[in-house]
Structure 1
Amino acid sequence: MAKTLVEAKITTPSARKDLPAGLHWRGLDREVHLGYRKGKRGGVWLVRWRNGVGYKQAPVGIADDTIKAGNLNFQAAEKAARALVERERQLAASEAEGPALTIAKAVADYIASRDDRDAKRAGRAIRSDAARRLGRHVLGQPARGKEQAIPATPLAGVTLYMMTENDLQAWRASLPSTMKATTRQRLINDLKAALNSAYNANRAKLLPSVPAIVKHGLRAPEHTDEAEPVARDNQILSDADIARVLRAAREVDAENDMGGDLFRIVLVLAATGARFSQVARIRVSDCQIAAGRIMVPVSRKGRRAKSGSITVPVGRDVIDALVPVATGRSPDAILLERQRYEQVKGIQWQRAGRGPWQSAEMVRPWQAIKERAELPDMIPYALRHSSIVKGIRANLPIRLVAALHDTSTAMIERHYSKWITSGLEEMARAAIVPLVPQDDGARVVQLRGGA
């Protein structure tokens, strides 16, 4: 026969003061009891709950017998105790269904899905950028050639059920200080996506607080500015600079016998301000010669599948440069392709047909272009930055600039506010009216030296 719980008066410091030293209980429900253990210098809270034929017990915190930061009154202890019991019960149920889900498993599953997605887009097996970043900074990787093995981080062994904000913050703090801010943010976004994906797939086994833990645990510390400006001054190219880039692209193209493929893709990047991933998917039917425009596919950014195109008007010179690859081809064919080669018989190479551009194939040509153009710090994204700023300086509505570049007005305002202010200065100046009152009978004084 179960014993009847004798409840003690432990709800206030004054009531607990009269209790003898030892352990005292008060029921929170039929199977959960909040305990107060009184010692010589104050007491502590603990909780016990029914576990089969017996009880399990765990500490909760220090009681507020003395006023001190972190000490818990009865109500706070009750809330913490209930949360602890709920967490332990869900953990037990989760373990009963199978092995605990670790962060390493969540990251590995996410990498597999990213690799599969990128492989379908490319039409061949490839390793995604997320795989390289997360492999190096979370899962670890074996030795490869001259590269030494990288051990897994402590975070990899943490279970999602027991994960805390401190675990994520410690991992973030351990990242190399030399890592670029943009690389750091991409890595953090990859880990955030992996953890949220694992939560969505295992919601019945995990606490509902996991998304909040991920959000706050991976947030940048207060009073820091880790995000470097997306559009730096040296990445905003003048019309003369862009002309030098295109001239250099044409020369590098000719020297490497690329048949105009390199020049055309750099030209379209400059003319549309689109991302490389969008330009690489433009089809022949998207180049509307008579209308003088290019229909740029929408970005694949975000979790939701998107379709459609963005109408971008371009100059007749751009259209004329694209006519050779847009005429006489299937409307569904990729507009901008490049010659592919395969290695045969040791060191010999032979042509292996044409195919869409891949981002990795732009690395070496771009290095040659920026050296030839004498713009050593220029990145490919500079063409997009420059296109956006050009639209702002032309006093186009910010909403139109955002729409033409497949982004949001919030993003434009956040990263290009400097140019919005300077670009609209003339419009603001035109609205200036004289404010200082003038007397109708003011006497005109001839200045010495005047006409």
Structure 2
Amino acid sequence: MGRAVRDARLDKRDARLKLSPRKEPYWRLIGEGAHLGYYRGKRGGRWVARHRLPGGGSGYSKTTLGEADDVCDADGANVLSFRQADAAARAWFDKVVRGDARPAGQPYTVGDALDDYMTHFTGKSVTATRSRVDAIIRPALGGLEIDKLTAKQIGEWHKERAASPAKLRTGKFAKEQNTRVAADEDAKRRRQSTANRDLTVLKAALNRAFREGVVRSDEAWRKVKPFKAADAAKARYLTDDEARRLVNAMDAGFRPMAQAAMLTGARYGSLAKAKVRDFDPQSNTLTLPDTKGGRTQIVYLEDEGAALFAQAAAGKRADALLFIHSSGRRWGPSEQARYLDAACTAGKVERCTFHDLRRTYGARLARAGVPMAVIAEALGHADERMTRKHYAHLAPSYVSSTIRQHAAGMGIVARTNVVALR
């Protein structure tokens, strides 16, 4: 398509910054039907391109190439100089000619945005995100054109998701999906929290489409807000008595997993993948290399925890899993729920989740006066904010000690011989 072009308005950063922000990009002709554009917005500039095949009518295929190096230096990937944008545009023009790019004039739907989002998805929870996209978002909104999408449509879908009953895990070949109706306030909050996560994935896909320049405005979904207080801190921690009853009532094959969670605070997925070589009996530590935060976590084991892992590792090869299903296979996703529900019923313990076992570990540390920074490190939190949200109220503090010392003793409650059972 010829050699690189020059444009006094776009070549230099200083010249571009003098351009007035406007809705239509500043276009520079590169070849027949091919333009490199610079979009000057209020929040900065970005490089775009458009192409029209000969005889293709008035419709253009368009794409966003990347951010302009107006503020940050170019890195050749996300932030581009004029020369780099010119090269990227030419590469994209070649794709259009070969038929690899999107045809001009074809409506861009929510489904298309979801496809593009998953194609470039780099998060850790690929399987869960794809399931959410295909089972929840696409059936309801996938066929809608993004440019015609309204805040009302998204808002109504968001509310319907929160009002829908939660699905329960059923057998692999079950004909019907069991559901649980949100009967109390906590259940309703959980459904709102789930709806918020659905909305987050939808917005991420739509925002990517907006950044790529295939959508004119993000106003429709920007107006839809998540439910407030849906992710409030959950106060479900097992007492030592509940923990013992739960373990005693647990299926023998799953029991070591539950014990490990309460003695380490590790997540179900991390324990399911833990191998013998991750346990060091010399230092009484467990290394979890693939945690939710994407970083390696070191778990420091006390005597009971070290004994549990020593038993789990006994007689196994270094690359063997520490905890396996009774059939000899690895524990699968969400498989823990049915074992916990059965144990709670048999042990007469209020229903809890595997994550509650993790919280129990954090709560025991907090009640013992362990600093929040140490608990955050033990649980693998990125910082102390999440730790304080869940455990700060359990820790001994100057405020609680002062109040109990100076605001006690009104003499309005008669003493009885009722004592707590242990």
TM tier, smaller: 0.5 to 0.7
- Worse-superposed segment, 401-410 or 289-298: 289-298
Match of 1:138 in 2: 137
5 Å-filtered alignment, 1:351-366, equals: 354-366=328-340
Matched, 1:159 2:145: yes
Q: Secondary structure at the match of 1:229?
A: coil
For 2:6, the equivalent position in structure 1 comes to none
Deviations 1:327-377 (A, max 9, x none): 34332332211233xxxxxxxxxxxxx232113332332222111221142
- Seen in structure 2, the aligned counterparts of structure 1 residues 273 and 406 have a Cα distance that, compared at 3 Å, is same
Instruction: Give matches, 1:5-24, under 5 Å.
Output: none
- State yes or no: 1:411 paired with 2:386: yes
Which position in structure 1 is the counterpart of 2:266?
A: 274
**2:225 match: secondary structure:** coil
Q: CA deviation at 1:188?
A: 3.5
Corresponding residue SS for 1:97: coil
Identity of aligned residues (%): 16
Give the gaps of 5 or more residues in structure 2.
Answer: 1-19, 24-40, 42-57, 63-102, 166-187, 407-422
User: 1:209 & 1:406 partners in 2: Cα distance?
Assistant: 38
Q: 5 Å matches for 1:78-227?
A: 93-94=60-61, 97=104, 99-108=106-115, 128-140=127-139, 153=140, 155-177=141-163, 179=165, 180-197=188-205, 199-200=207-208, 203-207=211-215, 209-210=217-218, 214=221, 216-220=222-226, 225-227=228-230
Deviation of the 1:209 alpha carbon: 4.7
Question: Which residue does the alignment assign to 1:244?
Answer: 245
TM-score by length of 1: 0.55
Separation in structure 1 between the aligned mates of residue 258 and residue 216 of structure 2, nearest angstrom: 47
Task: Provide the secondary structure at the position in 2 that maps to 1:338.
Answer: coil
* 1:227 CA displacement: 0.6
The residue type equivalent to 1:231 in the other structure is: K
Name the aligned partner's letter for residue 219 of structure 1: K
CA distance in structure 2 between the partners assigned to 1:281 and 1:218 by the alignment: 38
Q: In 1, distance between residues paired with 2:270 and 2:323?
A: 11
Higher Cα Rg, which structure:
1
Equivalent residue number for residue 327 of structure 1: 314
Change (3 A) 1:174 1:360: closer
**Are the equivalent residues in 2 in contact too, given 1:199–1:206 (CA < 8 A)?**
no
Q: 1:389 aligns with which of 351, 363, 366?
A: 363
In structure 1, C-alpha distance between the alignment counterparts of 2:136 and 2:152, rounded to whole Å? 17
Alignment deviations for residues 49-101 of structure 1 (CA, whole Å, 9 cap, x no partner): xxxxxxxxxxxxxxxxxxxxxxxxxxxxxx9xxxxxxxxxxx96458635232
Shift of 1:132: 4.8
Structure 2: distance between partners of 1:296 and 1:316: 19
Aligned counterpart for 2:286 among listed residues 281, 294, 307: 294
| Of 423, 426, 438, the match for 2:395 | 423
Using the alignment, how far apart are the partners of 1:376 and 1:433 within structure 2? Answer: 33
Q: Residues 100, 293 of structure 1: CA spacing in aligned structure 2 closer, same or farther, 3 A cutoff? A: same
TM-score (norm 2): 0.58
Flag the 1:402–1:113 CA change in 2: closer, same or farther, 3 A: same
Q: Which whole-Å deviations, capped at 9, do the CAs of 1:110-138 have from their partners, x for residues lacking one? A: 5688899778xxxxxxxx44455444543
Q: Is the 8 A contact 2:162 2:194 kept in 1?
A: no
What's the CA shift string for 1:405-443, capped at 9, x where partnerless?
A: 1223112233x2xx5235233576379999xxxxxxxxx
Alignment check: 8 A CA contact 2:60 2:104 kept:
yes
Q: Residue in 1 aligned with 2:255?
A: 263
Amino acid paired to 2:397? E
Q: 5+ residue gaps in structure 1? A: 1-28, 33-78, 80-90, 120-127, 141-152, 341-353, 435-451
- 1:355 partner SS: coil
CA offset digits 1:153-201 (Å, max 9, x no partner): 3x33332344343432232133352554334433443443354246537
> What is the SS of the residue equivalent to 2:326?
strand
Work out the CA distance in 1 between the residues paired with 2:61 and 2:200: 22
